[in-house]
């Protein structure tokens, strides 16, 4: 879908720009380096002043948010702590409290900055809603979209955009704002905002973010496209979860044209709030994506035709000072009505982008019939980036020349009207290229010997890391591994055989929200038996697409003979074990065009890896190192066959201990599945099984 026509430039002339140096008081307590630092705001402000943009805007100062407005989305306890954390009484405990949160710091300026950030977004949103301003940009920090009802996380203390949205809907009915679109283009999922409006049909929440099959921060399953809202809000939560990094202008434009814009037209919002994180920008040290300043300008331009152009941008992430300054500059010029030429060196989206878009449309078409229309065809797509690109470190800024080139290209943004029709026509011809559909996983395991370019290393925690090259193995590996049998040991929901068979034969069992794709080999296991192992059972993470809110089972990789965990062992082929490993780590994909299942084209575990594990006891699969079940453990032998299971890496155990990753009790449906497995397997009675699970969930690490 092409963008709705933008309103005349004259109507966009009155643009608010809020900046206040007081929000720079929030900083690390001892001056340590941190990506979310005061220079982010100052760099943007310097750029806007140097280019004459600030003088063309209505410049506003920050205003503190009243507690009653913050309380519309946050608990009273959370508000009290955030407002008092900078006071003298917390001088000795402030750092200790910060460590209890996920990616949070506090100092003596944090409380004031947080209240100002929330109040500033209210201030500009109110003025835009009232017609005093046509649009506005709120340069605020700390950011907000990760902050949840009772918890600060991910650099965010209060959820600034959520507070403002609730204010417009519930406290100012006189402004006539009845429907709000929140567009979150920060590279990270807006988990906090999603939860705050999950059952509210007045708010259409759209988040496009790196998901990486659940491994990218905040590493929660609810960033999946399957999470679409609940009750009255069902269909009003839209996630577009990228499968990998390096997504750029073309990928985001495709998500706009084929998901966001058609739904927005049907929703017809009264105002648009943008959670404007710029950490998907080219050169960002945390995001790993490639949006250019012109790309952000076009994304914003495509929104101007809705809500009478009433748009409020609230700063979220973005940690490369040049990129964030140039990107905000580009957006400010769009709101001021300046025209620009859009050009991109790479106009094809990734094939994974098209697959994600199709999956999102399939999930939502019941609620938004416009998404039922057939997608355009006949455009070649880029294949997934190579492993060296995906896993390359991005901890440094891009070369000054690269950023200067972007800045130079941007300097002419007010010269020529962009050729949007040509771009939309080009992008609308996208079709999944079946010849490029095979998924290149970042691992390729020989079934005989390690390739000379493979390497085995001992990680700092003592675990073994297997780093392998990509190869062009054919599917002959399946034939080879189908002749090798192993015992797969399950300690979680797969202890219940009907649920386990979903991983083999496809479909879903009682309690599951989404089906499994199954294995290429649908043969039932050749044997089943139970045993206990000396590893600690724990429940981690906070939600999954399949089981909803609640933790899921992991085994601590470390052997502890004081622990005893039950495992149900299934005798299956090594091919089937790989297919389970693929599914557990969300590497099996579906071609949205025709429903075909797409498996990785090479195994993660081959015969040589099994032999290696018999000596080293574990392999941490480096190519999928950030996936939840990337650690394969060797638990011994039974009938001369190896016993294998999959769990989290030892590094995740440390993150659970520190609180960086959440420990959470399982959902009722997930716990019931484990109980059925233990009871039907005649290991425990129902009460004993429930006590076993509750004890594992209640204990700290």
Give the sign of the dihedral formed by CA 251, CA 384, CA 517, CA 604: negative
Distance CA 165, CA 370 (A): 26
Distance CA 68, CA 79 (A): 10
Q: What are residue 141's phi and psi, to 5 degrees? A: -160, 150
DSSP characters for 642-676? EEEEEE--HHHHHHHHHTSS-B-PPPHHHHHHHHH
Distance CA 88, CA 69 (A): 26
DSSP symbol at 169: I
Q: Are 362 and 441 in contact (CB under 8 A)?
A: no
Give the sign of the dihedral formed by CA 307, CA 312, CA 316, CA 320: positive
Task: For 303-338, give the secondary structure using H, E and C.
Answer: CCCCHHHCEEEEECCCCCHHHHHHHHHHHHHHHCCC
Give the sign of the dihedral formed by CA 437, CA 630, CA 513, CA 508: positive
Parallel, antiparallel, or unpaired for β 135-138 and 311-315? parallel
The CA–CA distances, whole Å, from 374 to 21, 255, 597 equal: 50, 15, 20
Residues 6 or more apart in contact with residue 52 via CB below 8 angstroms: none
Which element (helix H / strand E) includes 615? helix 607-616
Parallel, antiparallel, or unpaired for β 548-549 and 543-544? antiparallel
Task: Spell out the long-range contacts of 554-558 with Cβ–Cβ below 8 A and sequence spacing 24 or more.
Answer: 554/492, 554/628, 554/647, 554/648, 554/652, 555/491, 555/633, 555/645, 555/647, 556/647, 556/653, 556/701, 557/463, 557/618, 557/631, 557/633, 557/647, 557/648, 557/649, 557/650, 557/653, 558/650, 558/653
Catalytic sites, residue numbers = 146
Partner residues linked to 507 by β-bridges: 516
Residues 6 or more apart in contact with residue 275 via CB below 8 angstroms: 144, 145, 161, 182, 183, 184, 185, 186, 190, 193, 314, 316
Distance CA 194, CA 673 (A): 27
Q: Are 476 and 660 in contact (CB under 8 A)?
A: no
The CA-to-CA distance between both ends of the chain, in Å, stands at 51
Can you list the alpha helix ranges (DSSP code H) found in 268-419?
293-301, 321-335, 351-364, 387-390, 400-410
Distance CA 241, CA 190 (A): 11
The CA–CA distances, whole Å, from 73 to 47, 151, 175, 233, 415 equal: 34, 11, 20, 16, 43
- Burial readout 102-118 (b: 16 or more C-beta within 10 A, e: otherwise): bbbbbbbbbbbbbbbbb
The CA–CA distances, whole Å, from 389 to 155, 247, 384 equal: 27, 12, 10
């Amino acid at each position: 879908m092409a963008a709705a026509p933008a309103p005349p430039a004259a109507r966009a002339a009155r643009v608010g720009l809020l900046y206040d140096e007081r929000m720079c008081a929030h900083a690390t307590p001892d001056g340590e380096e941190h990506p979310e630092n005061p220079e982010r705001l100052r760099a943007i402000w310097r750029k806007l002043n140097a280019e004459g943009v600030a003088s063309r805007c209505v410049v506003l100062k920050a205003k503190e948010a009243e507690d009653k407005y913050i309380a519309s989305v946050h608990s009273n306890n959370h508000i009290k702590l955030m407002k008092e954390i900078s006071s003298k009484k917390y001088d000795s405990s402030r750092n200790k409290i910060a460590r209890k949160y996920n990616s949070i710091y506090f100092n003596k300026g944090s409380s004031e900055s947080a209240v100002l950030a929330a109040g500033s977004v209210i201030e500009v949103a109110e003025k835009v809603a009232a017609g005093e301003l046509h649009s506005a940009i709120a340069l605020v920090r700390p950011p907000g979209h990760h902050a949840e009802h009772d918890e600060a996380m991910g650099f965010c203390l209060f959820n600034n955009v959520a507070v403002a949205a609730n204010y417009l809907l519930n406290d100012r009915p006189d402004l006539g704002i009845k429907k709000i679109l929140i567009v979150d283009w920060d590279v990270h999922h807006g988990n906090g905002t999603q939860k705050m409006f999950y059952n509210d049909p007045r708010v259409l929440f759209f988040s496009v973010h790196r998901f990486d099959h659940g491994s990218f921060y905040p590493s929660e399953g609810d960033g999946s496209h399957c999470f679409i809202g609940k009750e009255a809000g069902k269909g009003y939560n839209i996630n577009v979860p990228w499968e990998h990094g390096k997504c750029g202008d073309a990928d985001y434009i495709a998500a706009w044209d084929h998901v966001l814009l058609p739904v927005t037209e049907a929703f017809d919002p009264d105002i648009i709030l943008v959670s404007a994180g710029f950490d998907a920008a080219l050169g960002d040290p945390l995001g790993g994506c490639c949006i250019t300043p012109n790309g952000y300008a076009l994304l914003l331009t495509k929104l101007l035709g809705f809500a009478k152009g009433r748009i409020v941008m609230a700063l979220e992430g973005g940690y490369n000072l040049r990129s964030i300054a140039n990107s905000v500059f580009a957006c400010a010029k769009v709101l001021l009505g300046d025209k620009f030429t859009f050009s991109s060196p790479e106009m094809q989206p990734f094939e994974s982008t098209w697959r994600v878009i199709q999956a999102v449309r399939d999930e939502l078409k019941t609620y938004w019939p416009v998404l039922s229309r057939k997608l355009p065809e006949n455009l070649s797509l880029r294949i997934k980036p190579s492993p060296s690109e995906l896993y390359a470190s991005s901890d440094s800024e891009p070369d000054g020349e690269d950023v200067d080139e972007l800045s130079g290209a941007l300097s002419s943004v007010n010269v020529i009207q962009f050729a949007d029709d040509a771009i939309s026509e080009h992008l609308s011809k996208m079709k999944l290229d079946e010849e490029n559909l095979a998924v290149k996983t970042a691992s390729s395991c020989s079934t005989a010997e390690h390739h000379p370019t493979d390497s085995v290393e001992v990680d700092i925690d003592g675990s073994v890391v297997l780093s392998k090259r990509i190869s062009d193995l054919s599917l002959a590996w399946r034939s080879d591994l189908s002749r090798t049998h192993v015992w797969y040991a399950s300690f979680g929901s797969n202890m219940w055989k009907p649920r386990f068979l979903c991983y083999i034969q496809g479909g879903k069992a009682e309690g599951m929200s989404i089906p499994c794709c199954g294995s290429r080999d649908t043969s039932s296991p050749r044997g089943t038996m139970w045993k206990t192992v000396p590893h600690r059972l724990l429940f981690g993470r906070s939600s999954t697409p399949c089981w909803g809110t609640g933790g899921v089972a992991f085994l601590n990789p470390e052997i502890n003979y004081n622990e005893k965990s039950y495992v149900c062992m299934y005798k299956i082929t090594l091919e089937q074990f790989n297919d389970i490993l693929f599914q557990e780590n969300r590497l099996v994909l579906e071609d949205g065009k025709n429903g075909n299942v797409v498996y990785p084209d090479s195994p993660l575990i081959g015969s040589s890896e099994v032999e290696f594990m018999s000596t080293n006891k574990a392999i941490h699969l480096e190519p999928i190192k950030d996936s939840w079940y990337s650690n394969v453990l060797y638990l011994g032998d039974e009938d001369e066959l190896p016993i294998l299971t999959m769990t989290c890496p030892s590094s995740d155990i440390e993150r659970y201990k520190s609180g960086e990753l959440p420990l959470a009790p399982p959902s009722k449906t997930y716990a019931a599945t484990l109980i059925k497995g233990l009871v039907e397997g005649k290991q425990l009675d129902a009460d004993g099984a429930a006590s076993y699970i509750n004890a594992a969930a209640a204990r700290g690490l």
